[in-house]
Structure 1
Amino acid sequence: MVRRTRVGNYTCTATNSLSTTTSNVLPLNIKYLPVCLDVAQTVVVGEGEDVRLNCRVDAKPDHDLRFTWFFNNTLDTVEVERHRVEVHDGYSYLDYTPRSSRDYGSLACWATNTVGTQADPCQFTVLEAGPPDSVEDCELIPQQDNSGRLEVKCIPGYNGGVTQWFVASVLDAATHTLITTLQHNQPVFQVNGLRAGQDYLITITAVNTEVQVIHNTLMP
């Protein structure tokens, strides 16, 4: 069996007692089915948000490739309309926008050349993004130098499948007047300028790109 790894230029050499001669170079090109270049991918996206799914294949011949996309959920399997599929040399992409919970599931991309259709498709799983979970196990660590500083540390919860960040709001406990707001990519904050003997509320809020928040409130 000739495998595609054997592609290249070949020559034949003949030898007898008088001399050795070599043939002209003979290029060997091997045609083969498309093969997906990327491992299965999982993307997390909110309703109404766009995500681009790239289906890249290795194939010979690699011109005039045809691509077919199928969407599958727990209810049915349907072919993606061809006008939604973009095809370029060696790859296809689909700009996918889930509009409801039924639009979350898996997508499979199949490429076809003159040899045939790839044996295993390029696969994508589209999951729904959600709000982040509340931070947990928050603790206050006063500084020992009586400088009016303290440190707040929490354990982050599940991010909802997308990037999250954290907001610390410091309020006067008596009037609920906002004193300062801090942001960080981890729920760890240094709070400065606090007065001894005054009560404060510190609210730690988890935020992600779904613009939904869950918070935890502490009192030093």
Structure 2
Amino acid sequence: MGGKEVTRQDMRILIVEDDQDLAQQMAGGLTDAGYAVDVSEDGEDGHFLGDTEPYDAVILDLGLPVMDGASVLKKWRAAGKSMPVLILTARDSWTDKVEGLDAGADDYLTKPFIMEELLARLRALIRRSAGQTSSTLTCGPVLLDTRNGKVSVNGTAIKLTAQEFKLLSYMMHHEGKVVSRTELTEHIYDQDFDRDSNTIEVFVNRIRKKLGVPLIATVRGLGYRLEWVEENA
């Protein structure tokens, strides 16, 4: 159950891009940064995944086969899907960018681009969607830096495995909300991973032990809630 120590990001991303080389390049970079990543190569399949799977953000090319990116995005938004979407376009045209933004995109990036900018834009989109304005999340004495993957308690660095970091980061992005085991499982593993929600309890117990502070409460029959209560101080 152990894992390598992590110094990166978290959460689950969908890439919808028909250029296989670019898609794999982005997937590799995002995986290295600690994200769980799914890839689709056409608009119809991408729409289906975004409609049926929970994603923290989507990277969506506008020029897709079968169904174009703007149509995919319009269908998602019409169905009430609110995940942040970053559109990609090779077309250096304001009309295409405006079309994507009008369809419901949250940001855009013109090809070619550097991976560092893509990662920075994704971090910003995820923070904004969670109501966060800083790359550093805090809850009581716990500080989590989403840029470099560091966690500390009262200024003391805490070492977490990759999955432990993903789980803690997801819960800190949703501080105060009850999060089910199923939701956590869906967000920290990619689509192809053999998911087992029973491991979530193991990760939660490990995190509690490593943090050494009463931050994660079990909500019987529902899941977990991350919250710092002043009486804990």
Q: Structure 2 length as normaliser, TM-score?
A: 0.20
Higher helix share: 2
Q: Which has the higher contact order (CA 8 A, sep 6+)?
A: 2
Q: Structure 1 length as normaliser, TM-score?
A: 0.21
